[in-house]
Amino acid sequence: MNSRKIDIAAQWRRSIRIKLKWIPGANYSTLSAMGETIHYNKAPITEAIIDLRVEPRTEISLDRLQNLASDLRNDYPKSGAVYEATGRMHVEPGVTAAASAQQTQTGVRCLSEDGRHICQLLRTGVAHSWLAPYESWGQFRDRAQSVWCNYREAMDISSVSRVAVRYINRIDVPQENVDLKQYFRTSPEISPDLPQTMAGFFMQVQLPLDDIQATAVINQTIVPPPDMGVVSIILDVDVFRSVAVPQDESEIWSYFETLHIYKNKVFEASITNKTRELFQ
């Protein structure tokens, strides 16, 4: 069998989109029946995100978001604007095409003193991030829930339209050439009739999790390494629900526990024991 290796000097990316089916009840070696995972001494998490999207009854103004940011300044003393960029191209027969771009403020970004905790207060919802070093799910969830409760109380919200748990992991393999199959159970498959050395890649897998009415999106790609002689691969796991989303507060946060458990399942099912050894 040919090995699939990555040459970190090259610049191109390869994109693959496939669909797979989640198998309820599958045996994941590091998961207990309660969905718990082992603790990694050197967890590869670079960013964890809890995200809630909403349908407001009335338009949420930037002033209200700014006022909320001021209320949160004890925990998040730094703040700045969140912008969304949109582009437009006008094409007409016999006329040179014209392009334009516009930047619109969509919310306020608040940061803790050390910059590790970030909350984005948006017209469409709220997202809370914890940057490395990550500590624990319980602490992360509690901070996100506190911000959400303030947001929900301050804004005129009709319903919650989407809930998501996303973890972005950077896995540093101390080799210049890596056989992906040794470290990842989900990875690109290259025809044996093609060169087996990849200069780079980007892969996305979308998994329907029918038993919890959710979807898992796995993004995997190569990124610049922190040191020479290392290959760094991103394993980005996003588990979300946007259909029949729970609306009661206790149900919402109970469901976040479920999303977190399934995020762990997807992560553990995507890596090998050789990868786990890197985290010990």
Express each pLDDT in 96-133 by its tens digit.
Answer: 777 778 899 999 999 999 999 999 999 999 999 999 99
This prediction has a pTM of 0.84
- If asked whether residues 139 and 178 sit together in one domain, one would say no
- If asked whether residues 170 and 280 sit together in one domain, one would say yes
Which residue stretches of 114-234 are H helix? 137-154, 180-183
- If asked whether residues 46 and 65 sit together in one domain, one would say no
pLDDT the model gives residue 36: 53
- Asked whether residue 191 is domain-assigned, the answer is yes
- If asked whether residues 127 and 183 sit together in one domain, one would say no
- If asked whether residues 194 and 227 sit together in one domain, one would say yes
pLDDT the model gives residue 24: 44
- If asked whether residues 11 and 41 sit together in one domain, one would say yes
- Asked whether residue 241 is domain-assigned, the answer is yes
* Amino acid present at 22: W
Q: Which residues pair with 86 in a beta bridge?
A: 102
CB neighbour burial string for 133-154, b if at least 16 within 10 angstroms, e if fewer? ebeebeebbebbbebbebbbee
From 107, 124, 155, the end of a domain falls on 155
Q: What is d(CA 188, CA 195) in angstroms, rounded to the nearest whole number?
A: 13
- If asked whether residues 264 and 171 sit together in one domain, one would say yes
- If asked whether residues 151 and 172 sit together in one domain, one would say no
- If asked whether residues 193 and 119 sit together in one domain, one would say no
CB 140 within 8 A of CB 116: no
Does residue 10 or residue 280 have the better pLDDT?
280
pLDDT the model gives residue 28: 37
Instruction: Give the CA distances from residue 115 to residues 15, 69, 148, in Å, rounded to whole numbers and listed in that order.
Output: 33, 15, 19
- If asked whether residues 197 and 251 sit together in one domain, one would say yes
- Asked whether residue 24 is domain-assigned, the answer is yes
Tally of domains within the chain: 2
CB 262 within 8 A of CB 241: no
Does residue 257 or residue 89 have the better pLDDT?
257
Instruction: Give the CA distances from residue 236 to residues 167, 208, 225, 266, in Å, rounded to whole numbers and listed in that order.
Output: 6, 16, 16, 10
- If asked whether residues 30 and 169 sit together in one domain, one would say yes
Domain membership of residue 102 as a residue range: 59-84+98-155
Region 176-186: what's the mean pLDDT?
91
